[in-house]
Chain A
Amino acid sequence: MELDIVSLSRLQFALTALYHFLFVPLTIGLSVIIAIMETVYVMTNRRIWRQMTKFWGILFGINFVMGVATGLVMEFQFGMNWSYYSHYVGDIFGAPLAIEGLMAFFLEATFVGLFFFGWDRLSKLGHLTATWAVALGSNFSALWILIANGWMQYPVGSVFNPDTMRMEVTDFAAVLLNPVAQAKFVHTVSAAYVTAAVFVLGVSAWYLLKGRHAELAKRSMTVASSFGLAAALSVVVLGDESGYLSSEHQKMKLAAIEAMWETEPAPASFTLIGWPDQEARETHYAIHIPMIMGLIGTRSLDKQIPGIEELVASAENRIRSGILAFDALQRIRAGGGTAAITPEDRAQFEEHGMELGYALLLKRYVDDPREATDAQIQQAAWDTVPMVAPLFFAFRIMVGLGVFFILLMAVFFYLSARRRLDRHRWLLKVALWSIPLPWIAVEMGWFVAEFGRQPWVIEGVLPTAAAVSDLGIRTVLFTIVGFVALYTVLLVIEIKLLLRAIRKGPEPDTAPDAPLTTPRLSQRLLSSER
């Protein structure tokens, strides 16, 4: 990658997002696991479950603040580094971000204070409500962020407005019910549940290995393995749904993940492993499994999945069509906007307007896309192919780990059902050493989704290179160094505090049970206003 403003801005966004996503999955998953534990406490009245809630709550809190801290940057970074993007799609993309704040983050952040400070101020049901509000908030948060992200992958319900020079929403329901967003939401949230389940399982396994807090550890493992097994299965099923949808809406991403250079006769085979070579446009040493890809991608035996070369040819046609849209747009603007549009221009823009973004791909080579040569058009068409090898491997690591998590959770679910959790030390060690794996899987997943979208920031609508702010290279280098240094220091502190809290183990919980429902305010005021 060259050291230009586009790559630096991409690097900064990728780094800050990847850091943010170290904390988010654990927050989402652990909030639900804690809420389940507290529900058991309220239903059974057994204090060990309150102790578990409080203990995992401490770890949750240490992680939660890092998610909040790194999330702040995400909310403002679009405007800071991607100002043309913000102008171009803010009309659509801004709405889910704002709704995320209104509907989800407010709920989560307001009640998280009560989760920690409310134990002696709330009734059992009151506190349980606060805990579920946190869990609900963090999950809703993922929903709205993925509606925003889903629109970047599959921009529905919107149209380009020549007067305002931006995309504007035409059908908000389509943006909300975007099938890509829905599949992504369930896939991502399930992955977050798996992350938290592996974390709880691994930490509990360590306690069993050390012979400490066995009661707490075994119960925690039961919750983690049953919750985790359901989630791990759902990750794969919904991952498959994502794959199916990609075959419809993001054909290039799918072809790149599979390193499918040429269109195969249906049903296509799945490349288990190989060495994709972008220059030679072939995959060396490939091991194929017949028919699988065609089945996953099209759910049929006769539909073809287009390969990269076919998609490049179609991109070339779309670029030529985009040039016509660009041409019409220039004439519309020269004539004084849509108020004074001629019927010919309107017809030309309506026919080709959807491909306007493809003309912008040429901006790398010429200022005016209408003057592009055939060679430049072909080059721009080949630019629509993302780098295949990193996607190919990242995807296979993610899927491999996903299958491993199903096995891991199934084994511990079985052991827990047979009450044999502490029988096999080597299995406990496997659980312990599995703790980092879900983070690798989720970061790979993020990478496949976003890197696979290149060269587009909004698929087919706006190239990443056009979206960037007018900033100096040194300025962005400075902030990259600043963010990475700060995040790394905080990450080290966070991990140290987590380890410290884990080593210390749960606090003995001798506080009396709170009443089931809330006493009247006047009574509570008497006790707090001493």
Chain B
Amino acid sequence: MILHTLIDYETLRLIWWGLLGVLLLGFALTDGFDLGTAMLLPFVGRTDVERRVMINTIGPVWEGNQVWLILAGGAIFAAWPPLYAVSFSGFYLAMFAVLFALILRPVGFKYRSKVDSPRWRSGWDTALFIGGFVPTLTFGVAVGNVMLGVPFRLDADLRIFHDGTFLGLLTPFALLCGLVSVAMLVMHGAAWLQLKTAGTVARRSARLGALAALATIALYAVAGLMLWHTVDGYRITSPVDPGSYSNPLRKTVEVVAGGWFDNYRQHGWTLAAPALGFAGALLAAIALAARRGALAFAGSTLSIIGIITSVGASMFPIILPSSADPRASLSVWDASSSHLTLFIMLVVTAIFIPIIVVYTSWVYRVLWGRVHEDDVTDASRHSY
């Protein structure tokens, strides 16, 4: 096949680096409010009816939203196989915790309403809270560890060896990133509830959401300062050929204090990402205090885009640094699939992502409107 040479390897790798961000954002922005709503469940919903109102706002959509995570997993496998192989085996027990918690979610949503007993329902409420909190915290901790560097080594056959332990993941900076993630998605979930509910549920979520937005700003700022002062960045020191074959071992990498700020220093416009992270959260805080649902949701959306993009902008072109053997670090130029696979996957993605966006928007349009208490008490109207 000659067709794939229409787009050169370097450009394809850049596009797929961008698409990696798009998929993670797709997950954080859509399933993010499901996770946030689940975390708010015990605090905003005090009665069974209130909790059912909350669950029914996400009931029809969380399943589709969760596919962003599955798709991100599949796309990383297809486009960045070494990243898929190193990260999921390296974060093995953390991934297990995430999967364990996420497994509770589908069943929790579906089975909670099937039996009308307080014990049954409060049991599933706990499961749903865990299903929201554990993945959100763990993903944040994982991002923190990615920035700190993961202790892995590659041998000449590109076999992967890990030196780290599960407890080794729980460093102060990583835990702080976990808290940023929790605050950010609680803010997003609260903005969603502001948009989709009325009355007590909306009032309580506005208050908690505004606090979460302010916490996002504070924690994100502290994380930035810690990154500046205590976390070493990784910098490729050998000449790179961005169009050459994928083998991480053919470069040299040095560890530099404050190195994760190189890109911000060299390309000032990239500072737009962290700025958006702060400004969006501020907008969400103000809009939630003013009980403006749509504006709050726009604010939290912008904030999430800013915060997640700021991680990518800071690390580029490194994707997964190795603290055990820095030259094994995975970068955009040496951890991708082959030229042909990247091209084919780009074509498939370019066809299907717009189709997905169209029908997902249609579904949200059909489901437009707030969920009221009498919607859930009227048995014929809702499932959960």
Binding site for B on A (CB under 8 A): 61-62, 64-66, 68-73, 75-76, 78-81, 83-84, 86-87, 90-95, 97-103, 105-107, 109-114, 116-118, 120-122, 126, 133, 161, 163-166, 168-172, 333, 469-471, 475, 478-479, 482-483, 486, 490, 493-494, 497, 500-501, 511, 521, 525, 528-530
29 contacts between A and B (CB under 8 A): A75-B70, A83-B160, A86-B88, A90-B77, A90-B84, A91-B81, A92-B341, A94-B76, A94-B84, A98-B74, A99-B345, A106-B64, A110-B360, A113-B363, A114-B366, A117-B383, A120-B380, A121-B367, A161-B245, A165-B157, A168-B338, A169-B340, A470-B159, A471-B162, A478-B93, A486-B100, A490-B107, A497-B114, A528-B368
Give the contacting residue for B84; candidates A79, A95, A475, A525; CB below 8 A. Answer: A79
Cβ A168 vs Cβ B341 within 8 A: yes
CB-based closest 8 A-B pairs:
A90-B81, A79-B88, A94-B78, A113-B60, A94-B77, A110-B64, A101-B71, A98-B74
Give the contacting residue for B74; candidates A101, A171, A482; CB below 8 A. Answer: A101
Residues of the B chain whose Cβ atoms lie less than 8 Å from the Cβ of A107: 359
Give min CB distance, B334 to chain A, whole Å: 9
Indicate with 1 or 0, residue by residue over B89-121, a CB within 8 angstroms of chain A CB atoms. Answer: 100110110011011111101110011000000
A72 to B64 Cα, complex, angstroms: 13
A-B contacts, CB under 8 A, total: 261
Give the contacting residue for B160; candidates A81, A84, A91; CB below 8 A. Answer: A84
A316 to B111 Cα, complex, angstroms: 55
A116 and B383 in contact, given A469-B92, A490-B107 (Cβ under 8 angstroms): yes
Give the contacting residue for B67; candidates A106, A114, A165, A475; CB below 8 A. Answer: A106
The segment from B202-210, B273-281, B289-297, B349-357 found at the interface with A is: B349-357
Give the contacting residue for A490; candidates B64, B103, B366; CB below 8 A. Answer: B103
Give min CB distance, B223 to chain A, whole Å: 26
Residue B348 is within 8 A (CB to CB) of chain A in the complex: yes
Cβ A72 vs Cβ B103 within 8 A: yes
Question: Which range holds the interface residue count of chain B?
Answer: 35 or more
Cβ B59 vs Cβ A117 within 8 A: yes
Give the contacting residue for A72; candidates B86, B102, B159; CB below 8 A. Answer: B102
Give min CB distance, B231 to chain A, whole Å: 25
Cβ A83 vs Cβ B106 within 8 A: no
Give min CB distance, B73 to chain A, whole Å: 4
Cβ A91 vs Cβ B158 within 8 A: no
Cβ A121 vs Cβ B366 within 8 A: yes
Cβ A79 vs Cβ B77 within 8 A: yes
Residue B326 is within 8 A (CB to CB) of chain A in the complex: no
Residue B61 is within 8 A (CB to CB) of chain A in the complex: yes
Cβ B64 vs Cβ A79 within 8 A: no
A441 to B245 Cα, complex, angstroms: 45
Residue of B nearest to A168 (CB): B338
A94 to B344 Cα, complex, angstroms: 12
A75 to B76 Cα, complex, angstroms: 11
Q: Which of the listed residues A64, A95, A161 has the most CB atoms from chain B within 10 Å of its own CB? A: A95
Residues of the A chain whose Cβ atoms lie less than 8 Å from the Cβ of B344: 95, 169, 172
Residue B18 is within 8 A (CB to CB) of chain A in the complex: no
Give the contacting residue for B340; candidates A70, A114, A172, A333; CB below 8 A. Answer: A172
Residue of A nearest to B348 (CB): A99
Give min CB distance, A493 to chain B, whole Å: 6
Residues of the B chain whose Cβ atoms lie less than 8 Å from the Cβ of A103: 348, 352
Give the contacting residue for B99; candidates A76, A91, A97, A530; CB below 8 A. Answer: A76
A98 to B81 Cα, complex, angstroms: 12
Cβ A68 vs Cβ B63 within 8 A: yes
Residues of the B chain whose Cβ atoms lie less than 8 Å from the Cβ of A114: 60, 363, 366-367
Residues of the A chain whose Cβ atoms lie less than 8 Å from the Cβ of B352: 99, 102-103, 106
Residue of A nearest to B93 (CB): A475
Give the contacting residue for A530; candidates B64, B84, B372; CB below 8 A. Answer: B372
Q: Which of the listed residues A61, A65, A107, A133 has the most CB atoms from chain B within 10 Å of its own CB? A: A65
Cβ B74 vs Cβ A72 within 8 A: no
A-B contacts besides A90-B77, A109-B67, A497-B114, 9 pairs, CB < 8 Å:
A68-B66, A80-B92, A83-B89, A91-B81, A97-B77, A112-B63, A113-B60, A482-B96, A525-B368
Cβ B338 vs Cβ A122 within 8 A: no
Residue of B nearest to A529 (CB): B369
A70 to B106 Cα, complex, angstroms: 10
Give min CB distance, B145 to chain A, whole Å: 16
Residue of B nearest to A490 (CB): B107
Cβ A163 vs Cβ B368 within 8 A: no
Residues of the B chain whose Cβ atoms lie less than 8 Å from the Cβ of A90: 77-78, 81-82, 84-85, 337
Residue B365 is within 8 A (CB to CB) of chain A in the complex: yes
Cβ B73 vs Cβ A75 within 8 A: yes
